[in-house]
Structure 1
Amino acid sequence: MLEIYCDSSYNEDGSSFIGIVAIADGVEVHQSTTAVLPAPLSNLECERAAISMAIRMARALRRDDEQVIIYNDNTEAVKEYLEAEMSLYPVEYTPRESPLQSMADRLSKRFPQQLVEIHDLCRRPVESFTPEVLADIARNGSTVLYLQKDRERSSNTKSCYRLVARTADRILSDDHLYCARSGEVKNVKIARDIAADVGAGEIAVALSGAYFLLTDETWGLRLKGGEAYSILPCEIPHRIICHEVDRSPENLWRRVARHNHS
């Protein structure tokens, strides 16, 4: 079976891109990032272009009478194809959170990310959950920062996140909301906004010695060579931590609790 996951990043002020991931019998056989030409006039038009390209890709990759399924995370675009029977192959909805659709989403943002000037963001090595890190968080009251998606405020054209600052014992702050429109380099835009607020003293939390937890929501800040961009300015002493398998905040707090009682 051939499965093709497609997504797009619409940018009304610049170039829009399509991300494609193709899986044949459970093995990845293709991934790509392609500009949408001519420039789309809306997010829906951009998603239509993504599905159309996925169909063309399926025609090129399909073997004999192999079954094909096209996946996209835009309900309106998928519904259009189903109702109009516009597709040569079945088009199905899949949530953006699914691993392969998430990969297509990241691919649609790969070129825009490379084009964005991000040298003004602080970069730090990414550390694992070592006993020393867990002990510092568990026993010294160190602050941990991470982003949590606000699903009520997010939409097909906008992603919104709450900045959570907490210790092992309590939440210090979770009332700062940051949003990025479709087509913007989400992680970079939000990281810049947070760093600007920190520099302006808008976040009234003790941040010296804090930890920035990389989660699935901020995975786009990860760099090659074991580094990542931070949401905090370099002037503030801090560290970036991440678990390679389970990147959820809940995993960190479970480990901190176990370490505290060991």
Structure 2
Amino acid sequence: MTEEVSPEEAAEAAARKERWNAYLWEPGSCLKNKLDIKNPIELHFAEYSLRAVRQGEMDRGEVDIPRTYDKAHLQAIHKHMFQDVYDWAGKFRDVNISKQGNPFVPPEHLDKWTGKVSAKVNEKDWSTMSREEFVQSIAEVYSYQNLTHPFREGNGATAKQFISHVSEMSPYRLDFDRVERDEWNAASSASYPPDLEKSTDPDPRQMYAVFDKMTVERGAVLRADPELAAALALQNSTYAGVEESEHIDIDDKRPGTHAVELESEAEAEQHQN
């Protein structure tokens, strides 16, 4: 027996669908973008290349991103990183998204949850932390930020940059190449609350092991970043089309490798009707 849907419920469902499709060239297709790319794989390569260049500008201190650790901070990071790709760069999403069955915070609660993330940063004295305290604290900040997932696309790169900014206040830095992608994804998934509607908090303890691996004393020698090197190489190649000789290396396990992660929020995150 089909359950009756009220006119109000039907109207809300139609509005949700309209908001979802507004991000796409056409229903079920690629995200709209400034590059006029209609193929999601081509968009992956282009987005990765352009984003990496913008990230390099931030890493070299060429961009003024105020360290306010709040909504404005997150939006400034996202806007700079994705300004070449999306018209909505820096703007919070207005649709529900999920990944592998795990729903993220509904759009109407994003400001509240971003406030929670900010509080987790500001309530601590990062400058005097022991290594163990840093690992636990940065895992907590990331777990809340990851559950929030405030943007339609680009949340992973934005969160990575954000927690790197947080780590600047401490004696430690984060080396993301020390953790394989599968391990990172498994820990992130395990940190989700079993039921977002019943439990309002993630479990940061599930992330302790991966952040322990990534935490390095700030005075330690920096290593070359193979991800950035690959991105800069891509930047010099055309991305108007994908040649038959090009392929995606799905065995690349590094958690920060956006171009080869086919869990694009455009494909792997579905709207909730």
TM-score interval for Structure 1 and Structure 2 normalised by the shorter chain: under 0.3
Higher strand share: 1
* Greater gyration radius: 1
TM-score by length of 1: 0.26
TM-score by length of 2: 0.25
Higher relative contact order (CA 8 A, sep 6+): 2
Higher helix share: 2
